[in-house]
Amino acid sequence: MGKQRVKFTFEETLVKQPVIYELGQKFKIVTNIRRAEVGEEVGWVILELEGDDPEIQKGLEWVSSTGVRVDPLGGDVIAG
C-alpha cells in the first residue's frame, strides 16, 4: 500500500461532477480530502490517496481523462 498527495483542479464544466466519489468507487483507493476551495466556476481539492501504487496510477489516469487537472502537491517541481 502506498500513499500519494495530489491536487485536483476542476474547471467550470466539471465542478459539479462527483469525481472523487467515483474515484473511490471505480478503483481500490481511499480518498482523504485535506484542503479545498470550490467555487461556482472553479475549484481545487488537495487530497491524499491510499492504495496499491499501480491502482493509484490507474485512478489518476482516469481522473485526468475526465478533464480534471492532476498536479503534484505544492505546485510544479520542475524549475527553470
DSSP 58: H
Q: Is 16 in the site for another protein (CB under 8 A)?
A: no
Shortest Å distance, C-beta 22 to another protein: 21
C-alpha of 29 from chain center:
11
Contacting another protein within 28-67 (CB under 8 A): 34-35, 37, 39, 42, 44, 46, 48
All three cell numbers of 57? 496510477
- Residue 71, Cβ density class (10 Å: 0-12 exposed, 13-18 middle, ≥19 buried): middle
Nearest to another protein of 30, 42 (CB atom)? 42
All three cell numbers of 70? 492532476
Q: Which residues bind another protein (CB under 8 A)?
A: 4-5, 7, 9, 11, 34-35, 37, 39, 42, 44, 46, 48, 69-80
